[in-house]
Amino acid sequence: MPSQLNVDTLVAANGTDPVTLTKQAATKAFANMNGTGTIAFRDSLNASSLTDHSAGIYTTSWTNSFADTEYATTTATNLDQAYAGDMCIVTQATGSLKHKTYYGASHAGTDASINCHTNFGDLA
């Protein structure tokens, strides 16, 4: 018979350390943001605010910082237009991620309506 445990908070046996998820890892932050007009998150986890630097270049600030700058970030945008577009990392800091959405051979920054990123690593 399957067992079911009802619990609100999981911690390690010592009462403070994080629990280990067997052979799994949860993402620590993700975002789906609108980069056109007034930039805004559509949905996010552990993301507190957005900074608009210039066309296509934004900083997502984390609510809870990462332990270091070695976290893994993956991205995607909806720039499937006549000219190649992509979304890349500019800089990773423990408290934020600066990213750029660009298109064409010149890699000019451009505002896209959908910009997504996910981030895996250790939180502070």
Q: Which residues bind other proteins (CB under 8 A)?
A: 2-13, 16-19, 24, 26-28, 30-32, 42-46, 63-65, 67, 74-86, 103-106, 114, 116-118, 122-124
Q: Please, how many CA atoms are within 13 Å of residue 1, restricted to the half-sphere of its CB?
A: 2
Please report how close the Cβ of residue 59 comes to other proteins at its closest, in angstroms. Answer: 17
Return the sign of the alpha-carbon dihedral for residues 110, 47, 77, 99. positive
Q: Minimum Å distance from CB 54 to other proteins?
A: 19
To other proteins, the closest distance from the beta carbon of 110 in angstroms equals 12
CB of 65 to other proteins, least distance (A): 8
| Residue 16 CB coordination number (10 Å) | 7
Report phi then psi at 45, rounded to 5: -130, 130
* 17/38 with CB nearer other proteins: 17
Distance separating alpha carbons of residues 31 and 8, to the nearest angstrom: 25
Q: Which is nearer to other proteins, 51 or 63 (CB)?
A: 63
